[in-house]
Structure 1
Amino acid sequence: MARRRRGLPVNGVLLLDKPAGMSSNHALQRARRLFQAQKAGHTGTLDPMATGLLPVCFGEATKFSAHLLASDKVYRTRVELGVVTDTGDAEGEVVERLAVPALNATDVESVLARFQGEIEQVPPMYSALKHQGRKLYELAREGKSIERAARRVTVYDARLVAFEGSAFELEVKVSKGTYVRTLAEDIGRALGSGAHISVLRRLATGPFGAEGMLTLEALTALPDQDAREATLLPVDILAAHLPRLEVDADAARRLTHGQSARADTGGLAVGDTARLYCDEAFLGLGAVTTPQEVAPKRLLSTATD
């Protein structure tokens, strides 16, 4: 006999404003309890010291969360010059203190220009990347250092928003897999003084920006479950970048039974993925197999109800 899953069948996307000092998983579990949700997952870890946008997917939305994992991100960070830490942020142990040369905003902007575009970046030891099955930060806490291969990442924009001589603030837009801590360390090294970050806030991920974020405190203050669920974005917003296909009721029935179905694919190429709808209801994703046929790829469980 199958075990009944505890909680409510909540479906949708929460734009959570993660507080400082809390792991992404802890924030996720707090949100899940507030919504009494059966199933939840987040779409890209933030360091405990970091704040800002942490999209949380509930229920059916977890099936499409991978689209956000690969998305570009926007961060605002404060870079402190003259002090290098083992973690690259203010929570680490100081490993080196260096004199900060006389700098102005133009000096910083000149160096920033060298770090825009496609760059090579060595992932930090204090990261969740794995080596022989163990996370690097676990090895780092044991005093071990593993050689890491450089990876190509993209810095689409790095803009100086405040300058204070020995510290400055940046807003950066980066590709998946970019470590802002490492970027700040490399910029500090190029400025001749070393650096670490003391503040990191994520402002955007993929199509989502900071304007829709809600704190745990704000969610707690809402009067009831209906009010909380009203804050969620619909599941299909995670696939909004994909083309949309409408299918009729017969095609929807075939698709939800795992069969290919006839559909007007609107000139999409064979192999393309599209969002599938029937009478405005989101069914999930399908793959174009011929100009007149689509096959199920990832459908909502509720689509078969």
Structure 2
Amino acid sequence: MQATPRPRLPRRALHGVLLLDKPLGLSSNDALQKVKRLLRAEKAGHTGTLDPLATGLLPLCFGAATKFSQLNLEADKAYVATLRLGQTTATGDREGEVLRERAISFTPEQLQAALQQLRGEIEQVPPMHSALKHEGKALYELARQGKTVERESRRVTIHALELLSQDGETMQLAVRCSKGTYIRTLADDLGELLGCGAHLSALRRTQSGPLHLAQTVTIEQLEAEDDTARLSHLLPPDLLLDDCPLVRLDAENAGKLLAGIRRRTGLAPSARVRAFGPEPKAFLGSARIAGGELIPERLLSPIELQTLLAGPVSLT
């Protein structure tokens, strides 16, 4: 006698941000799909990718929060990078073929001088093993075919680069950098400055804009919890605008903003604000203040706002 299949629980409209501690070996999209299934969410996306070899902070957006995911893509990032000194690889990380091995011989003064050269605004040549496109093809696809193409250097900013530890051939660095920085390239450049070569052996993202690793939850934790506990990890969608000024509107002006109508304001100019209605949880979306006007940008729909105010419904 065949067992009766368990009924599939329906997907639901969830609006918020979940900060995931992405595990080693899982792509960002695979991690997103796992969490999406666990939360039974209708719509989800992430704010930029972490390589399978990287771990750490991966903000996942659900429902209305996906409208603001680009903001986190543009944000500065922070990492703990682990380098393997003495080896240069084809990919700049531990997965690549070792191309060259050299002796490790530098003084603390030489290390500090090399780190100083890599701080501030620097030029980086993107690695061939990256997702950048060349004539419609990702560079890593060309690299797998044994091809190398000319890449233009990019200007990035290394806000902070500090030595955390060094034990023989292993070095750990704390990095805070602008978007688009390749930590693999940074490791390779440091290795060349030190004369011994280096590649990235591990990478952990600790911060993205105003979001921190300490706020994260793991997939294992989510799998062990019931539905109500899982939903408790869902943070408000305005979290991605946490470093923007807050503007609270009365019911009349909130309705006009949601209709896309500019409103006169005496507030100081701001490139981006997070707008709220009269209720504490009534997040309306993002706007900017210019020329004495509050100008709507990305807004929640009335249905999204209503769902957000009602709160997520548990399916357990």
**How far does residue 85 in structure 1 lie from its aligned partner after superposition?**
1.1
The 8 Å contact of residues 164 and 174 in structure 2, kept in 1 or not, is answered as yes
Q: Distance in 2 between matches of 1:105 and 1:200?
A: 23
**How far does residue 105 in structure 1 lie from its aligned partner after superposition?**
3.5
Q: Are 1:143 and 2:146 matched, yes or no? A: yes
Tell me the amino acid that sits aligned with residue 177 of structure 1.
G
The 8 Å contact of residues 43 and 69 in structure 1, kept in 2 or not, is answered as yes
Aligned to 2:27: 23
Task: Could you tell me which runs of 5 or more consecutive residues in structure 1 were left unpaired when the two chains were aligned.
Answer: 1-5
Q: Summarize the Cα distance change of 1:303–1:265 in structure 2 as closer, same or farther, 3 Å threshold.
A: farther
- With normalisation by structure 2, the TM-score equals 0.88
Q: Distance in 1 between matches of 2:167 and 2:306?
A: 59
Q: Are 1:244 and 2:243 matched, yes or no? A: no
- SS of the residue corresponding to residue 261 of structure 2 reads coil
The 8 Å contact of residues 105 and 163 in structure 1, kept in 2 or not, is answered as no
- With normalisation by structure 1, the TM-score equals 0.91
Tell me the amino acid that sits aligned with residue 172 of structure 1.
V
Q: CA RMSD in A?
A: 1.7
The 8 Å contact of residues 120 and 152 in structure 1, kept in 2 or not, is answered as yes
| Matched length | 294
Tell me the amino acid that sits aligned with residue 157 of structure 2.
T
Q: Summarize the Cα distance change of 1:217–1:86 in structure 2 as closer, same or farther, 3 Å threshold.
A: same
Q: Are 1:160 and 2:154 matched, yes or no? A: no
The 8 Å contact of residues 15 and 53 in structure 1, kept in 2 or not, is answered as yes
Q: Distance in 2 between matches of 1:256 and 1:236?
A: 16
The 8 Å contact of residues 100 and 166 in structure 1, kept in 2 or not, is answered as no
Q: Distance in 2 between matches of 1:245 and 1:74?
A: 29
How much identity, in percent, do the aligned residues show? 48
Deviation by residue 1:36-92 (Cα, 9 ceiling, x = unmatched): 111111112111111111111111111011111011111111111221111110011
Deviation by residue 1:168-215 (Cα, 9 ceiling, x = unmatched): 111111111101100000000111111111111111111111111111
Q: Distance in 2 between matches of 1:289 and 1:150?
A: 35
Q: Are 1:219 and 2:222 matched, yes or no? A: yes
Q: Are 1:95 and 2:99 matched, yes or no? A: yes
Q: Distance in 2 between matches of 1:267 and 1:186?
A: 43
Aligned to 1:79: 83
The 8 Å contact of residues 79 and 198 in structure 1, kept in 2 or not, is answered as yes
Q: Distance in 2 between matches of 1:170 and 1:117?
A: 16
> Please, which of 220, 226, 235 is the counterpart of residue 233 of structure 1?
235
The 8 Å contact of residues 105 and 196 in structure 2, kept in 1 or not, is answered as no
Task: Could you tell me which runs of 5 or more consecutive residues in structure 2 were left unpaired when the two chains were aligned.
Answer: 1-9, 308-316
Q: Distance in 2 between matches of 1:79 and 1:134?
A: 29
Aligned to 2:3: none
Tell me the amino acid that sits aligned with residue 59 of structure 2.
P
Aligned to 1:294: 294
Q: Distance in 1 between matches of 2:206 and 2:242?
A: 20
